[in-house]
Amino acid sequence: MSIEDERDLRENLGAALDDLGPRPLPLQLVVRRGRAVVIRRRLAAVAAATAVIAAAVAVPTLLRAAPRTPPTAERYHVTVRPPGPDSPQGLIASGLVNRARWQLTVSYNSRPSNLCYSATPRLLDCATSPLPTGRITDPASLQGSDYLARLPGGRYIHVQMLYGTVRRDVDYLRVALSNGQVLTAHPVAVFGSRHASFIAVAVPFAAAVRNVAAFSGHGELAHAIPFTGDGSIWIVRWLPAGAPALPRPSTARLAAGTTGGTSWSVRAYLGPWGICFISAAVGSLCTPGPRAVPSQPFIQMSMNHARHLTLGVLQLAPRVSYLTLTRVRGGHLRIRPVVLGGRKYCVVPFDDHNHAVAWAAYDASGRRLGGGPASGW
């Protein structure tokens, strides 16, 4: 039996013993409503050899065929281990989700500056970016994506991978899960000490991650409560060590309608994770939270585009009662805000075939507070 086989055996025995223990408390999803929409980065085409092309063609088929872990599953066991002496080049971490094996590697191509993450079976997630330096404001820059893990018989299942880079002063992350496990992820300096170190953890479903805390040698630096209401893991706001998980979660439907023949709606989720805007039509976006009260009539919070439709979310100043849009084909669109967490938000729809050319803001008495061209939104 090889060392790798021994590790697998120990991990599988740990998972089996975990199943014999008392059942954890039922999973309480942070968000129970809203349709799941996962924003994915573009899959980079790696064209060099026929085998690589064949693998790239096989990935979509595997993604469709692999079963997804039910998001209400309560019994699971996760392991994570750092790379060893015989690990493949660029390995960040590997482990098991129940009996399914996962691993994540990272590579960098200086021409054309592509940073790529790879997981079995060579699913690539690439972005045009220079090598990160580790000099970031937050303790870690993390993202969640749908990846694949391989069962002993060769079948693949979907898992959620939480991965990214950490700040230079971070020694490790602790990831608290819904089943009571607390995983420790150690950063790996894949590209040397001059560049950022990487971490990776896989879980069976997004809502399994309850809390992520960053530690240095002197103790906890900060912690984050993820948003998982759209089926992915969003970590965009870090709280100081010991700070309570505030504000309390709240949600509101900001707007719904039909633009250019496409029906759409936007729902906002406010909580300790920040504020997230979820739309099945154009995708999801999370930000650290509401801005300070703007001195101008509004500030832009997000802008997502899909097909011919663009939906922009604006935070309005308290004195603004409504906005009007003038469109290129004529006609005015009046937009009223929704209050969430003491702030005013509204959704501005844009149609590529009948886009807005001007805006104006008004108070409750109908007095014009400001206006201008809409081309910069």
Q: Where are the domains of the chain?
A: 3-240, 250-373
Note the pLDDT of residue 23.
35
CA distances, 260 to each of 37, 152, 277, 326, 352 (Å) = 21, 49, 21, 15, 8
The CA distance from 198 to 105, in Å, is: 10
H-helix or E-strand containing 125? strand 123-128
CA distances, 281 to each of 38, 70, 113, 284, 347 (Å) = 11, 24, 31, 9, 13
Q: What does the chain come to in residues?
A: 377
The CA distance from 297 to 232, in Å, is: 33
Q: Which residues contact 376 (CB under 8 A, 6 or more apart)?
A: none
Note the pLDDT of residue 356.
85
Nearest to 3 by CA among 89, 84, 117, 121: 84
DSSP string for residues in 270-291: EETTEEEEEETTTEEEEES-PP
pLDDT below 50 — which residues of the chain?
Answer: 2-3, 5, 9, 13-65
Note the pLDDT of residue 17.
38
